[in-house]
Copies of this chain bind each other. A is one copy, B any other.
Amino acid sequence: MSKPIFKRNSDHLPDDCRPGFDMLYVLGDKWTVPVLGALRRDGRARFSDIEKALSISQRMLTLTLKTLERDGLVRREVFASVPPRVEYELTERGRSLMNSLHELTGWGFANHEGVEESRRRFDAGSV
């Protein structure tokens, strides 16, 4: 009965490359990567712990986690205790996704200096 939380998707891409790039538009929002990163680092974490670690709003953390759970990247577990407790952890799929980012982040670390330089030059006096 639910539906996608965020509207950004890969519908504007040609059919044959849509599945390959679909996840890029999930990762490309503001909080998906930080949340996945926190869960990978800490293993299992409570909602409130992630919230404080990232200084993310409660609302955005809820929406981001729900999207990740929907995609099967994060597993959610509720404990009917008092006070209530909700814990999250990466699924195997979530872990493999994070690993598949190594090549891209490697590019980032290797090229960010060149990109910054290019931006400075462009912003200074175009040409």
Contacts and interface: CB of A to CB of B under 8 A. Distances in A.
Contact of A107 (B12, B31, B97): B97
Interface string A84-126: 0000000001001100111111111101101101110011111
Contact of A21 (B3, B21, B23, B105): B105
Q: Copies of this chain, how many? A: 2
A105 B16 CA distance: 12
Interface residues of A, number: 53
Given A1-B126, A115-B71, A104 B23 contact: yes
Given A33-B24, A100-B103, A118 B8 contact: no
A15 to B, nearest CB: 12
